[in-house]
Chains A and B, each alone.
With several copies, the nearest count.
Chain A
Amino acid sequence: MNAKEAVDLLMDYDRKKDILIVSLKGELDHHHAAEIREFLDEKLKDPSIRHLILDLQSLHFMDSSGIGVFIGRYKTISKRGGQVCITNISPHLDRMLELSGLYRILKVFDTVKHAVDWIRGESA
């Protein structure tokens, strides 16, 4: 890792049938919000994606810009009747998400696997 990567945002994704799993690494602030928004919206153009899991295990920093990004994607997904889950939340992020009322619309799980299992159960 070099010095810039420490404050950059990196995105990784995986696909499990109709679930898109995106893991965010690094720092999510206003500067990086546009990047992640474009990345997610590009992927979500594919109408066969119904659910979104955001894995935040390696997200070391997030400010309220992240909340805006999550709410925006929630709107897209909920129009398709899908679910948005977030996983692996640090205590600091937990306070931020609690504060924002996001827990009323997003589902939270310890691990990506738990989130996948829950979505499967719901849509079964």
Chain B
Amino acid sequence: MSIKNEMKLEFLSRSQNEAFARVAVAAFAAQLDPTLEEIADIKTAVSEAVTNAIIHGYDNPNEIVQIITRISDNSVMIEVIDRGKGIEDIELARQPLYTSKPELERSGMGFTVMETFMDEVEVISAPGQGTKVRMVKHINHDVQETERD
């Protein structure tokens, strides 16, 4: 992947930053000329990963969530990183409907949504060290040309 552009974002672990984070990543990814559907996919996946960092990774609103976004010719790579609690059993965490916070009415569908809406999702995590979710979305310009009005 030859990198064409890159940005890094850091913000406090507060829920009001969820909207900001997805808008910022979408604005950056817009350089690849994605369809509205592709932008919606990216926004949703970013929202899931950022929400997880805020509610699962950290237990207070004064920690830092980091997002790194890289653009190549036809794909965008997004890393959402926290230095929080980390995940004990990544395989279990990725199962549809698994949530450690049912009391918050979490559905356990976050990772499933990321996997459905992005082309690649990799989770790197260690208890006490934090979590990095790396997602890739291919932006298919050939398909786009015909789909777009």
Q: Which chain A residues have a beta carbon within 8 Å of chain B's beta carbons?
A: 2-4, 6-7, 27, 29-31, 33, 37, 61-65, 67-69, 71-72, 91-92, 95-96, 99-100
Contact = CB atoms under 8 A, between A and B. Distances in A.
B32 to A, nearest CB: 8
B33 A95 contact: no
B30 A3 contact: yes
A30 B107 contact: no
Given A3-B29, A6-B30, 16 more contacts: A3-B26, A3-B36, A4-B30, A4-B33, A7-B27, A29-B15, A29-B47, A29-B51, A30-B15, A30-B18, A31-B15, A62-B44, A63-B44, A64-B109, A64-B113, A65-B107
Contacts of B51: 29-30, 63, 65
A68 B34 contact: no
21 contacts: A2-B33, A2-B36, A4-B30, A6-B30, A7-B30, A27-B19, A29-B18, A29-B47, A31-B16, A31-B18, A37-B105, A63-B51, A64-B48, A67-B109, A68-B105, A71-B105, A71-B107, A92-B41, A96-B44, A99-B109, A99-B112
A65 to B, nearest CB: 7
Contacts of B39: 2-3
Interface of B: 15-16, 18-19, 22-23, 26-27, 29-37, 39-41, 43-44, 47-48, 51, 54-55, 104-107, 109-110, 112-113, 116-117, 148
Nearest to B97: A101
Contact of A99 (B16, B19, B54, B116): B116
B79 to A, nearest CB: 18
Most B CB contacts (10 A, CB to CB) among A2, A33, A92 go to A2
Most A CB contacts (10 A, CB to CB) among B26, B47, B116 go to B47
A64 B110 contact: yes
